[in-house]
């Protein structure tokens, strides 16, 4: 069946530290600047690679408009100093955009039509809010009632999943607390040091007193989301946001965030040509659709599909990066797929680390491939639910 | 070329804001609850304010002042006209920022009532004050002479007392007190500023302990304590008869104490006791044991959760002074007392209370007797004239009538005779005779068309001659005072069109809460016609707030409203919303919805909506400018009038909103059309959705602006509309606007340019938003329907985004949406429920 002619390997993976949105460290930092930074830094990790060999740069972005609009991939790769001969394309599969970029880049190589590809993701929710600056729904969504799920906000879908899968508030809060604990422990242990490429933020603010531009520089090298003060009592006090009698709170939902990540993929021939050491092999990728109003359970369909394509079983996986869009959907997915909780998000998830929509897939791929190598593990997965009712899953194997 | 109005303008308008002392910036010393609120009101009024307090020890030296400002954001009702104004209060401390005082024309000191602290502070700031700056203390009772001691001579001439009442934004009264050396010109300038810039009602008080309002108010409380004990009345019983029944705030006597704070009252009582040793009533100035016990226990009232009253679960309990324990607060007014207070003419009320053997009635008579006795005895000592005392009690304590007005209304000689007899019999609280002027057998009252009696001058004192008062065409009048000049143009049962003899016509509504029915619409059209023929402009102005609670779709002509009853500030907003909703529902009431549907009267309703729309268009397109003068609520149709006038002049305390969705309807009179037009104008071809969303949220959640400032932020008022701080100046400013508009060559705007609408995309986007609220259980299916209809009208209907429509298109959509909603069972149920219970129905 497969028309694959060669393997695709990840040879470099870098990401920014993730900032909180809309009032975090990157609140005025442009997404194209963050993206150019990770493109540059990923390349810097493989200095032997001639960037002219890069065929295309595929960038995932969930809301590609304004500062991250107009094909941000092409703009950022030029800003990053890639040769003009390198092309760029921006792709959107909402929350799976970054992972989609990795899969598409891998497939160009696997098909034999490219030897070196770059995949990335970028999203600055501080500047471009969820839904974008100009939300404009189609009246047909409401015409006969059957498509109303398209209008469901993400939180509303999480409440729907919490109800249908009977995920309690206590379980959600417990899961959230654990996410913060794991993330803080990982930061303390330096687990993210390999993947994070520190970014020098430069803020330019008017100093009205001196009538001059005050430049404030600081280095962003640590994820901003994890909270040392998270507590069961604190989480229990939060009010449900999306339903009057609901269970989904700001505390057990992913954080809105800013960040970017990039990975470089190469064929076996390119490995040899440039003397590159692979971090991991791209194994398979799958997407699947579900009802929009329960978008959170998307991985229930996508994960088995991806495993089937690889000929793996869930038990074969050593490390699962399950994007914590909401504790409610994460718990529902883990329970229905019978995931081993100890393998899920060992370094914390989006509830603590943040979820910069289209960047998340690239960022978590970086986390996974570095983590597998560091811990001497082999098989891993990045999976997430996707707005408007989808799931995505990508499998990787350390080499 | 000079019209009468023009002459009036050149003779008075140009002169009415004397500016010998322009206050661009003011400092407030002391960021406590009063100081911070005074600073808030200064910025409400557009005065720059700097709030000082002691330096804090941490990294932020201004932390104390900052905390004061933060408190402002939490207080209810809000001292802030809009949340954003709090950012305009500058923060400062006495260690680092004293040089900032040099830029302040006014410094208001509002620190704790300690003479030594105040002296120390004055010493510290004096070298930093600008040479012409005025220093005023917000003391509530300390002697201005003692406070002024030690001030440099030049500063002493610019030092005085300004006593604000809490909460200063809402309480109209400010007592202005001269210190021994204060320049008369300084007082005049400060009074003008307080009246016209801050919008306050200024009463000049003499420099006596507790000044006027607190002195009489405290005495009246102490008298109530005394007589309640003598007659064995519970505190809840006292409150039952001394609230709205008596024309006092709903919180009556003891609940008011809890709201004010027992500690604050304790200070007032202390001042009375320690500073007024020679007062014949001095023996009664010691606060009773139960009061002292509450103070010791820290039960200070509302702010500590316990005072005279406390809440246990859902039960309200009241202190029993005999046992010191709390009991269920369940005692009410005796039917006989209710009948006397509600059913009798003012002249008979006091007599009936006095003759009754019912303890509650006896209590009311005795407290009234002693309060009148006390006020008359001390009038000469405290104030210039009787009007000042009556207005001080009305403005500072929310009494419907002042003590001398009550006395005069009941018959001066009769009451004087009763008091004299009971003094002689040893029944009054002090054995002193009434002053000679009060006992004068030829006296029929203190207020008349010539003025109000001044014991120190022995004559009737006229209103103050300060120029600033020429701006008050219709000031608060006391009983017996001559009304302002009105020349009637025409009158119907629904409206009155008049002028002050100039060429500006003024129309007022006569319906209850100034609701707008068919008859008001007819009257308004007739008034526009009259104004176009014989006047240079038309002002819509009501004698009393509200401006209007909205449309009354049909029904018989309602009687003219009584003067609105005063109410505790704390419940004001809640009441406002409730009244708005109930008025709205009353509107639909007489419609008798079910019957109307049966009898095909819906067609008639549609005709009325059409007539309403024609009237709002006529307001806009009249040949002469129509100016709305808004004070208080302008809801529903009232808001729609506001939005269509050539200009609106709004008192700061204006509460404007489109609240129709509360009863399952939508604004059909042109309000939505106007919001659509304004959104398109604001977008100027750019993002239309942002202004549409603001409008949608305001209408779909029935938001009511809590000040004229907020109404502007919400888009009900425009930048060109004028905000007036003093409601008594409203008519003056409205007339000035008519003159300004006509003198600037005003012409009706004509039909608007084609209006770009959001169309089906924007409607769908609003529906998407509401879908989440619906699924989340925040709104009902019917809320969704009502919101969808609002969205349809606001977005121009089921057309492509960016389509161009005209006014008639939008008005037709509004009519259709209104009628469709009215035809639904759930909207009808909402209307009927509101009529039956006065509360909104969620269905």
Task: Report in angstroms the alpha-carbon separations of B131 from A337, B93, B153, B182.
Answer: 80, 21, 12, 15
- Closest CB to A243 among B762, B771, B776: B776
* Res. A1 pLDDT band, cuts 50 70 90: low
Contact between B777 and A137 using a beta-carbon 8 Å cutoff: no
Buried b (16+ CB within 10 A) or exposed e, B394-420: bbbbbbbbbbbbbbbbbbbeebbebbb
Q: Encoding tokens for residue B379?
A: 């009038």
Nearest to B299 by CA among B335, B334, B263: B263
Residue A88 has pLDDT above 80, yes or no: yes
Q: What is the pTM of this model?
A: 0.90
Q: Are B666 and B821 in contact (CB under 8 A)?
A: yes
Kindly state the average pLDDT of the residues B723-733. Answer: 97
Contact criterion met (CB < 8 Å) for B687 and A134: yes
Q: Which residue of B has its CA nearest to A152?
A: B772
For residue B780, the distance in angstroms to the closest alpha carbon of chain A comes to 12
Contact B777/A135, CB-based, under 8 Å?
no
Chain segment B173-212, per-residue pLDDT in tens: 999 999 999 999 999 999 999 999 999 999 999 999 999 9
- Alpha-carbon Rg for chain B in angstroms: 28
**Interatomic CA distance for residues B86 and B72, integer angstroms:** 8
The pair of three-digit structure tokens given for residue B614, joined into one six-digit string: 């024609």
Interface test with A, best of B685, B764, B777, B796 (most A CBs within 10 A): B764
Q: Please name the member of A133, A135, A246 whose beta carbon is closest to the beta carbon of B765.
A: A135
Listed in sequence order, the residues at least 6 apart from B75 whose beta carbon sits closer than 8 Å to its beta carbon are: B33, B37, B167
Per-residue pLDDT, B830: 87
Residue B7 or residue B264, greater confidence: B264
Span B502-515, pLDDT tens digits: 999 999 999 989 99
Question: Any CB–CB contact under 8 A between A239 and chain B?
Answer: no
* Mean pLDDT across B802-828: 95
Residue B566 banded pLDDT, cuts 50, 70, 90: very low
pLDDT at B561: 36
What is the C-alpha separation between B453 and B86, in angstroms, rounded?
A: 43
> If you measure CA to CA, which chain A residue comes closest to B799?
A139
B763: nearest CA in chain A? A139
Closest CA to A264 of A248, A246, A282: A282
Q: Indicate yes or no: CB of B765 within 8 angstroms of CB of A244.
A: no
Q: E strands, A179-239, where?
A: 199-207, 212-220
pLDDT digits (tens, 9 = 90+) for A167-209: 999 999 999 999 999 999 999 999 999 999 999 999 999 999 9
Check whether B13 has a pLDDT greater than 70: no
Asked whether residue A108 carries a pLDDT value surpassing 80, the answer given is yes
ipTM of the complex: 0.93
| pLDDT per residue as tens digits for the range A350-383 | 999 999 999 999 999 999 999 999 999 999 999 9
CB pairs under 8 A between A and B: 62
Query: Residue B3 above 70 pLDDT?
Result: no
Nearest to B771 among A148, A244, A245 (CB): A148
Instruction: Confirm or reject contact between A248 and chain B (CB < 8 A).
Output: no
What is the reported pLDDT for B648? Answer: 98
pLDDT at residue B659 greater than cutoff 70: yes
The residue of chain A nearest to residue B780, with distances taken between CA atoms, is: A244
Residues from chain A contacting residue B777 (CB–CB below 8 Å):
243-246
Mark whether A61 is an active-site residue: no
A134 touches chain B (CB under 8 A): yes
Q: What confidence score (pLDDT) does residue B277 get?
A: 94
**CB pair distance less than 8 Å for A156 and B778:** no
pLDDT, residue B343, reads 84
Find the radius of gyration of the CA atoms of chain A. Answer: 20
Predicted pLDDT at B76: 86
The conformation of residue B398, written as its DSSP 8-state character, comes to -
Cα–Cα distance for residue pair B95/B82, rounded to 1 Å: 31
Give residue ranges of B with CB < 8 Å to any A CB.
687, 689, 760-765, 767-768, 771-772, 775-778, 798, 801
Greater confidence (A241 vs B576) lies with A241
> Average of pLDDT values for B408-414?
96
Which pLDDT band holds residue B572 (cuts at 50, 70, 90)?
Answer: very low
Tens digit of each residue's pLDDT (9 = 90 or more) over A243-286: 999 999 999 999 999 999 999 999 999 999 999 999 999 999 99
CB contact under 8 A, B776 and A135: no
Nearest chain A residue to B764 by CA distance is: A139
Any residues with CB less than 8 A from the CB of A394 and at least 6 apart, and which? A99, A102, A103, A282, A283, A284, A285, A306, A361, A365, A381, A382, A383
Per residue in B26-47, is it b (16+ CB within 10 Å) or e — as a string? bbbbbbbbbbbbbbbbbbbbeb
Q: Which residue of B has its CA nearest to A145?
A: B771
- Inter-chain residue contact A142 with B689, CB threshold 8 Å: no
pLDDT value, residue B565: 33
Residue B496 sits at φ, ψ, to 5 deg, of -135, 120
Reported confidence tier of residue A105, pLDDT bands at 50, 70, 90:
very high
Closest to A156 (Cβ–Cβ): which among B687, B689, B775?
B775
Q: Do A139 and B760 touch (CB under 8 A)?
A: yes
Report the DSSP pairing between strands B459-461 and B451-454. antiparallel
Which domains are assigned to chain B? 13-205 (3.40.50.720), 213-446 (1.10.1040.50), 665-703+752-843 (no CATH)
Specify the range with the lowest mean pLDDT, choosing from B57-61, B367-371, B553-557: B553-557
* Chain A residues with beta carbon closer than 8 angstroms to that of B775: 152, 156, 159-160, 243, 293
**Residue B584 confidence (pLDDT):** 53
Chain B closest-CA separation from residue A242 CA (Å) = 6
A358 to chain B, minimum CA–CA distance in Å?
A: 23
Of A140, A142, A153, which is closest to B772 when you measure between CB atoms?
A: A153
* Mean pLDDT of the residues in chain A: 97
- Tens digits of residue pLDDT in A279-316: 999 999 999 999 999 999 999 999 999 999 999 999 99
Model confidence at B580, in pLDDT bands (50, 70, 90)? Answer: low
Q: In the prediction, which pLDDT does B556 show?
A: 36
Chain A residue closest in CA terms to B760: A139
Return the structure tokens found at B56: 């804090």
Average pLDDT over residues A135-150: 92
Cα–Cα nearest to A136, from B18, B766, B711: B766
Select the residue of B764, B772, B776 nearest A138 (Cβ to Cβ): B764
Q: pLDDT, tens digit, for every residue of B746-756?
A: 999 999 999 99
The percent of residues in chain B predicted with pLDDT above 70, rounded, is: 92
Q: How is B139-178 classified by DSSP, letter by letter?
A: -SSS-HHHHHTT--HHHHTTEEEEEE-SSTTT--EEEEEE
Q: Do B767 and A137 touch (CB under 8 A)?
A: yes
Judge: B767–A133 Cβ closer than 8 Å, yes or no.
no
CA distances from residue A10 to A36, A193, A372, B30 in whole angstroms, order as listed: 19, 18, 13, 65
Residue B578 has pLDDT above 70, yes or no: no
For the cut 80, the answer to whether the pLDDT of residue B839 exceeds it is no
Average pLDDT over residues B154-172: 96
Instruction: Classify residue A194 by its DSSP letter.
Output: T
pLDDT at B567 over 60: no
Mutate to test the interface with A, among B689, B690, B768 (most CBs of A within 10 A): B768
Question: Are the beta carbons of B431 and B423 closer than 8 angstroms?
Answer: yes
Is 50 exceeded by the pLDDT of residue A98?
yes
Alpha-carbon distance values, B733 to A168, B560, B628, B741, B765 (Å): 61, 26, 11, 12, 42
User: Which residue in A134, A141, A159 is closest to B689 by CB distance?
Assistant: A134
Q: What does the angle CA B327 – CA B333 – CA B335 come to, to the nearest 5 degrees?
A: 140
pLDDT digits (tens, 9 = 90+) for B467-497: 999 999 889 999 999 888 899 999 999 999 9
B46 phi and psi angles, rounded to 5 deg: 85, 10
């Amino acid at each position: 069946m497969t028309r694959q002619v060669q393997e695709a390997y990840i040879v470099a993976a870098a990401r920014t530290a993730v900032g909180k949105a809309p009032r975090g460290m990157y609140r005025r930092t442009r997404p194209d600047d963050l993206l150019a930074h990770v493109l540059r830094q990923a390349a810097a990790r493989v200095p032997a690679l001639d960037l002219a060999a890069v065929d295309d740069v595929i960038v995932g972005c969930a809301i590609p408009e304004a500062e991250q609009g107009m094909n941000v991939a092409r703009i950022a790769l030029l800003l990053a100093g890639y040769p003009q001969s390198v092309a760029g394309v921006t792709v959107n599969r909402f929350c799976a955009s970054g992972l989609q970029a990795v899969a598409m880049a891998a497939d160009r190589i696997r098909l034999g039509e490219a030897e070196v590809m770059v995949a990335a993701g970028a999203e600055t929710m501080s500047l471009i809010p969820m839904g974008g600056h100009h939300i404009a729904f189609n009246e047909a969504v409401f015409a006969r009632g059957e498509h109303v799920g398209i209008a469901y906000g993400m939180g509303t879908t999480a409440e729907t999943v919490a109800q249908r899968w009977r995920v309690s508030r206590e379980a959600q809060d417990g899961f959230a607390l654990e996410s913060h604990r794991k993330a803080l422990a990982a930061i303390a242990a330096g687990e993210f040091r390999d993947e994070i490429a520190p970014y020098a933020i430069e803020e330019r603010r008017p100093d009205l007193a001196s009538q001059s531009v005050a430049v404030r520089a600081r280095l962003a090298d640590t994820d901003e989301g994890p909270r040392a003060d998270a507590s069961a009592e604190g989480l229990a006090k939060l009010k449900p946001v999306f339903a009057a009698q609901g269970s989904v709170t700001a505390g057990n939902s992913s954080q809105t965030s800013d960040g970017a990540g990039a990975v470089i993929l190469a064929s076996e021939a390119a490995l040899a040509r440039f003397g590159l050491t692979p971090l991991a092999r791209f194994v398979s990728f799958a997407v699947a659709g579900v009802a929009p109003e329960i978008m959170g359970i998307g991985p229930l369909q996508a994960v088995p599909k991806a495993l089937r394509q690889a000929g793996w079983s869930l038990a074969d996986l050593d490390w699962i990066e399950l994007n914590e869009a909401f504790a409610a959907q994460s718990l529902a997915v883990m329970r229905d797929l019978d995931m081993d909780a100890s393998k899920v998000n060992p370094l914390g998830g989006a509830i603590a680390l943040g979820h910069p929509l289209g960047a998340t897939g690239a960022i978590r791929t970086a986390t996974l491939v570095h983590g597998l190598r560091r811990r001497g593990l082999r098989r891993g997965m990045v999976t997430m639910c996707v707005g408007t009712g989808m799931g995505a899953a990508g499998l990787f194997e350390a080499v | 070329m000079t019209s009468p109005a023009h002459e009036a303008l050149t003779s008075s308008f140009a002169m009415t804001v004397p500016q010998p002392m322009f206050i661009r910036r003011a400092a407030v010393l002391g960021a406590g609850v009063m100081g911070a609120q005074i600073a808030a009101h200064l910025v409400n009024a557009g005065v720059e304010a700097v709030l000082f307090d002691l330096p804090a020890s941490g990294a932020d030296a201004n932390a104390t002042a900052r905390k004061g400002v933060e408190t402002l954001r939490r207080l209810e009702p809000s001292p802030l006209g809009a949340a954003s104004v709090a950012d305009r209060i500058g923060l400062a401390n006495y260690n680092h920022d004293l040089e900032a005082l040099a830029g302040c024309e006014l410094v208001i000191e509002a620190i704790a009532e300690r003479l030594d602290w105040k002296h120390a502070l004055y010493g510290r700031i004096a070298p930093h004050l600008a040479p012409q700056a005025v220093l005023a203390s917000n003391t509530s009772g300390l002697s201005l002479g003692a406070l002024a001691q030690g001030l440099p001579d030049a500063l002493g001439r610019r030092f005085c007392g300004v006593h604000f009442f809490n909460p200063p934004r809402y309480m109209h009264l400010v007592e202005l007190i001269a210190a021994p050396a204060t320049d008369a010109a300084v007082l005049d300038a400060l009074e003008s500023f307080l009246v016209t810039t801050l919008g306050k009602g200024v009463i000049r008080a003499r420099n006596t302990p507790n000044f006027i309002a607190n002195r009489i108010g405290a005495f009246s409380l102490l008298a109530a304590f005394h007589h309640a004990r003598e007659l064995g009345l519970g505190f809840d019983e006292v409150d039952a008869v001394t609230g709205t029944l008596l024309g006092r705030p709903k919180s009556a006597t003891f609940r008011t104490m809890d709201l004010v704070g027992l500690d604050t009252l304790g200070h007032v009582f202390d001042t009375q006791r320690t500073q007024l040793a020679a007062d014949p009533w001095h023996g009664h100035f010691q606060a009773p044991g139960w009061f002292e016990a509450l103070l010791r226990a820290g039960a200070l009232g509302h702010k500590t959760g316990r005072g005279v009253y406390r809440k246990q679960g859902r039960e309200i309990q009241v202190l029993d002074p005999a046992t010191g324990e709390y009991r269920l607060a369940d005692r009410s007014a005796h039917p006989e007392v209710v009948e006397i207070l509600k059913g009798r003419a003012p002249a008979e009320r006091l007599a009936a209370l006095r003759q009754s053997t019912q303890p509650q009635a006896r209590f009311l008579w005795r407290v009234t007797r002693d309060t009148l006795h006390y006020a008359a005895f001390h009038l000469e000592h405290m104030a210039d004239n009787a009007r000042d005392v009556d207005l001080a009690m009305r403005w500072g304590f929310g009494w419907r009538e002042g003590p001398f007005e009550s006395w005069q209304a009941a018959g001066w000689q009769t009451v004087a005779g009763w008091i004299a007899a009971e003094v002689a019999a040893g029944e009054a609280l002090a054995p002193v005779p009434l002053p000679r002027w009060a006992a004068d057998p030829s006296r029929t009252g203190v207020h008349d068309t010539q003025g109000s009696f001044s014991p120190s001058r022995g004559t009737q004192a006229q209103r103050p001659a300060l120029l600033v008062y020429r701006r008050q065409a219709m000031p608060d009048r006391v009983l017996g005072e001559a009304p302002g000049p009105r020349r009637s143009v025409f009158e119907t049962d629904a409206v009155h069109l008049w002028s002050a003899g100039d060429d500006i016509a003024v129309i007022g509504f006569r319906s209850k809460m100034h609701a707008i029915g068919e008859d008001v619409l007819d009257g308004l059209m007739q008034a526009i016609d009259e104004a176009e023929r014989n006047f240079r402009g038309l002002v819509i102005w009501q004698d009393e707030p509200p401006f209007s609670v909205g449309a009354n779709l049909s029904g018989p002509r309602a009687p003219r409203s009584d003067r609105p009853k005063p109410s505790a500030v704390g419940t004001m907003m809640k009441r406002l919303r409730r009244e708005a909703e109930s008025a709205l529902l009353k509107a639909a009431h007489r419609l008798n919805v079910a019957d109307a549907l049966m009898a095909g009267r819906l067609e008639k309703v549609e005709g009325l909506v059409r007539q309403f729309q024609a009237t709002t268009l006529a307001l806009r397109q009249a040949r002469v400018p129509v100016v709305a003068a808004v004070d208080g609520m302008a809801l529903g149709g009232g808001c729609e009038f506001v939005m269509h006038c050539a200009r609106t002049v709004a008192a700061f305390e204006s509460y404007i909103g489109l609240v129709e969705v509360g009863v399952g309807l939508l604004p059909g009179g042109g309000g939505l059309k106007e919001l659509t037009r304004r959104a398109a104008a604001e977008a100027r071809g750019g993002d239309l959705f942002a202004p549409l969303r603001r409008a949608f949220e305001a209408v779909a959640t029935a938001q009511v602006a809590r000040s004229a400032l907020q109404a502007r932020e919400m888009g009900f008022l425009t930048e060109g509309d004028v905000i007036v701080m003093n409601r008594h100046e409203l008519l003056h400013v409205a007339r000035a606007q008519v003159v300004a508009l006509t003198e600037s060559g005003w012409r009706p705007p004509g039909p608007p340019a084609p209006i770009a609408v959001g169309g089906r995309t924007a409607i769908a986007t609003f529906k998407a938003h509401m879908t989440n609220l619906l699924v989340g259980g925040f709104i009902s299916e019917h809320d969704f329907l009502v919101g969808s209809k609002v969205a349809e009208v606001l977005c121009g209907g089921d057309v492509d985004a960016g389509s161009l429509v005209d006014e008639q298109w939008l008005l037709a959509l509004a009519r259709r949406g209104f009628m469709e909603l009215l035809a639904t069972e759930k909207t009808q149920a909402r209307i009927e429920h509101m009529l039956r219970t006065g509360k909104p129905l969620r269905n």
